[in-house]
């Protein structure tokens, strides 16, 4: 399993992928063009097969070093089932994949399976294979829609249209809670509504423990805000905003209300007093001290918490405003694999994509700390009894079934995390801004960057 540091890095794709989008686009423009004798690209195959060739096939795979252990396990399991297929993998350091991945796509001899950082960048010059024919042949359209939505694109906008990638697993966000602290307060089940959550936070403050650990030195204050708007605005509208859909806006009454709630929690002393100076490491330590109730974070910390607080931590998806309402969460891919248009082994590569949602691959994903791709009717992966990872996986299944997977808002544009979300959230929690101004300024920065 990846170390907590590695997964935390992946978690921060909320900021990092935003940079990836810009870097990827730039690199793609500068990539060398295909050689004169390069194989012809077929970006929209129609005659596809789910049968693997009977002769030996070697596939090339490209990904980041941070995903090596899970990728290697998936490759070993797939090639064991299909011994005539060999997969040779190349892993770049994670901090250069954003530059090198577009070059891989544009190469005259690209990998057959490549990490897709930006679906829209990959489709601009027909560099990625349209997977619709494979989706029909394999039945991928029967998977929960939100597991595929972020890998679809149409007319240069992600979120809908044809399919261009499939995930090896997913991240999951929500709220960790300290079971001992919760029991001391009388909380026996996770809150079912936002009001219940607020009520337990107030009781925690009265009992002298930190109600909610929020670290906003690096913009972590956006975490509870987005957890609320995912349900309040709805997954579709939030996703459209991240995918830069025409007319998308986050300057909505629901977003202002969410900012009001988060600012109100902080003003009432429900966040740490040093919220704007607290970083992720300090937040981990504060929650692990046993003197805090809730911690909005993600699956990447589950293994660490199972070690440092064995049996003491639970996890649940952010409750909606009203019990029984839409549940949703930020949930990106571990790796979204696509097939370059110039791949000469598309059928074999698609068979690997299909394997990613098999029962065996789902177990591998969970064993490496990720949430499994696939449907609710499949066998559930084996998870150690009493581990918080079990709670995270259950929450993911609930969110996925409800169509509630949403990309991070920090990924909406290349610069919006550092230019808007982090400074504006610090002003909001520092009492120097209002919820209306917070939301309006983020939207203005978004429109300025997109030149709208």
Which is it for strands 57-64 and 329-330: parallel, antiparallel or unpaired?
unpaired
* Distance in angstroms (rounded) separating the CA atoms of residues 386 and 384: 6
Same domain, 275 and 345: no
- 382 in a structural domain: no
Residue 26, Cβ neighbours under 10 Å: how many?
A: 15
* Distance in angstroms (rounded) separating the CA atoms of residues 36 and 31: 15
Same domain, 366 and 393: no
Same domain, 114 and 166: yes
On the 0-12 / 13-18 / 19+ scale of CB atoms within 10 A, 83 is: exposed
What pLDDT was estimated at residue 120? 86
- 310 in a structural domain: yes
The CATH number covering residue 130 comes to 3.40.190.10
Tell me the average pLDDT of the chain.
Answer: 89
What pLDDT was estimated at residue 97? 79
What pLDDT was estimated at residue 13? 38
In this structure, what are the phi and psi dihedrals at residue 242, rounded to the nearest 5 degrees?
-65, -35
Same domain, 340 and 280: no
Helix (H) or strand (E) holding 315: strand 313-316
- 92 in a structural domain: yes
Same domain, 111 and 183: no
Contact 216, 425 (CB under 8 A): yes
How many structural domains comprise the chain?
2
What pTM, to 2 d.p., does this model score?
A: 0.85
- In order, the DSSP letters of 296-343 are EEEGGGHHHHHHHSTTTEEEEPPP-SSTTS---EE--BS-EEE-BTT-
Q: Provide the angle, in degrees to the nearest 10, between the axes of the packed helices 222-232 and 235-242.
A: 120
- 19 in a structural domain: no
Q: Give the pLDDT confidence of 82-122 residue by residue, as tens digits.
A: 999 999 999 998 878 777 888 888 899 999 999 998 888 88
Same domain, 161 and 284: no
On the 0-12 / 13-18 / 19+ scale of CB atoms within 10 A, 92 is: middle
* Contacts for 445 with CB less than 8 Å, ≥ 6 apart: 413, 415, 416, 419, 420
* Distance in angstroms (rounded) separating the CA atoms of residues 219 and 348: 42
CA 381 to each of CA 159, 360, 362: distance values in angstroms, whole numbers, following the listed order? 28, 8, 6
Same domain, 104 and 253: no
* Distance in angstroms (rounded) separating the CA atoms of residues 107 and 59: 15
Q: Give the pLDDT confidence of 357-385 residue by residue, as tens digits.
A: 999 999 999 999 999 999 888 998 999 98
In this structure, what are the phi and psi dihedrals at residue 430, rounded to the nearest 5 degrees?
-85, 0
Structure tokens at 364: 């591998």
What pLDDT was estimated at residue 38? 56
Cα within 13 Å of Cα(58), Cβ side: 3
Same domain, 258 and 230: yes
* Contacts for 17 with CB less than 8 Å, ≥ 6 apart: 117, 332, 408, 411
| Residue pLDDT tens, the chain, 452 long | 333 333 333 333 333 333 333 333 333 333 334 444 555 678 999 889 999 988 999 999 999 999 999 999 999 999 999 999 999 999 998 878 777 888 888 899 999 999 998 888 888 889 999 999 999 999 999 999 989 999 999 998 999 999 999 999 999 999 999 999 999 999 999 999 999 999 999 999 999 999 999 999 999 999 999 999 999 999 999 999 999 999 999 999 999 999 999 999 999 999 999 999 999 999 999 999 999 999 999 999 999 999 999 999 999 999 999 999 999 999 999 999 999 999 999 999 999 999 999 999 999 999 999 999 998 889 989 999 889 999 999 999 999 999 999 999 998 887 899 999 999 999 999 999 999 999 999 999 999 999 99
Contact 223, 193 (CB under 8 A): no
- 439 in a structural domain: yes
Same domain, 401 and 429: yes
Same domain, 209 and 268: yes
Q: Give the pLDDT confidence of 36-45 residue by residue, as tens digits.
A: 455 567 899 9
- 66 in a structural domain: yes
What pLDDT was estimated at residue 121? 83
- 28 in a structural domain: no
- 26 in a structural domain: no
DSSP 58: E
Same domain, 407 and 420: yes
* Contacts for 232 with CB less than 8 Å, ≥ 6 apart: 254, 255, 257, 258, 320, 321
Secondary-structure breakdown of the chain: helix, strand, coil percentages, each rounded to the nearest 5: 50, 15, 40
Q: Give the pLDDT confidence of 209-260 residue by residue, as tens digits.
A: 999 999 999 999 999 999 999 999 999 999 999 999 999 999 999 999 999 9
Q: What residue numbers bound the domain in which 144 lies? A: 57-170+333-372
* Distance in angstroms (rounded) separating the CA atoms of residues 119 and 336: 9
Residue 9, Cβ neighbours under 10 Å: how many?
A: 17
Same domain, 178 and 294: yes
* Distance in angstroms (rounded) separating the CA atoms of residues 15 and 33: 30
- In order, the DSSP letters of 198-232 are HHHHHHHHHTTSEEE---TTTTTTHHHHHHHHHHH
């Amino acid at each position: 399993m990846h170390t907590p540091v590695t997964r935390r890095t992946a978690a921060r794709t909320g900021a990092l992928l935003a940079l990836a989008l810009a870097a990827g686009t730039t690199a793609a423009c500068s990539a060398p063009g295909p050689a004169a004798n390069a194989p012809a690209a077929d970006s929209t195959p129609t005659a596809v097969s789910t049968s693997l060739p009977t002769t030996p096939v070697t596939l090339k795979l490209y990904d980041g070093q941070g995903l090596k252990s899970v990728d290697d396990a998936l490759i070993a399991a797939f090639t064991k089932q299909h011994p005539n297929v060999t997969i040779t993998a190349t892993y770049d350091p994670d901090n250069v994949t954003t530059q090198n991945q577009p070059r891989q796509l544009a190469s005259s001899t690209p990998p057959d399976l490549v990490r897709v950082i930006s679906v829209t960048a990959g489709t601009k010059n027909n560099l990625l294979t349209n997977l619709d024919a494979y989706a029909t042949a394999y039945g991928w359209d029967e998977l929960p829609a939100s597991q595929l939505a972020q890998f679809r694109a149409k007319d240069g906008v992600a979120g809908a249209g044809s399919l261009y990638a499939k995930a090896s697993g997913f991240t999951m966000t929500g709220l960790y809670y300290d079971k001992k602290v919760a029991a001391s307060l009388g909380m026996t089940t996770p809150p079912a509504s936002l009001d219940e959550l607020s009520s337990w936070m107030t009781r925690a403050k009265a009992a002298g423990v930190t109600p909610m650990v929020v670290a906003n030195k690096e913009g972590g204050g956006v975490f509870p805000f987005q957890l609320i708007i995912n349900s309040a605005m709805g997954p579709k509208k939030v996703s459209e905003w991240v995918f830069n859909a025409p007319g998308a806006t986050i300057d909505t009454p629901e977003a202002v209300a969410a900012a009001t709630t988060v600012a109100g929690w902080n003003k009432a002393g429900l966040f740490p007093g040093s919220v704007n100076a607290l970083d992720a490491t300090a937040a981990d330590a504060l929650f692990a001290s046993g003197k805090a109730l809730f911690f909005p974070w993600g699956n990447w910390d589950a293994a660490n918490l199972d070690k440092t607080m064995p049996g003491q931590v639970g996890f649940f998806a952010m409750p909606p405003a009203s019990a029984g309402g839409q549940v949703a969460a930020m949930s990106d891919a571990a790796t979204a694999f696509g097939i370059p248009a110039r791949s000469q082994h598309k059928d074999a590569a698609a068979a690997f994509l299909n394997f990613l949602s098999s029962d065996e691959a789902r177990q591998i994903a969970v064993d490496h700390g990720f949430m499994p791709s696939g449907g609710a009717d499949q066998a559930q992966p084996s998870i150690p009894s009493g581990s918080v990872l079990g709670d995270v996986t259950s929450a993911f299944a609930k969110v996925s079934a409800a169509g509630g997977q949403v990309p991070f808002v920090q990924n909406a544009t290349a610069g919006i995390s550092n230019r808007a979300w982090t400074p504006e959230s610090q002003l909001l929690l520092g009492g120097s801004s209002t919820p209306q101004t917070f939301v309006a300024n983020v939207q203005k920065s978004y429109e300025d960057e997109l030149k709208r």
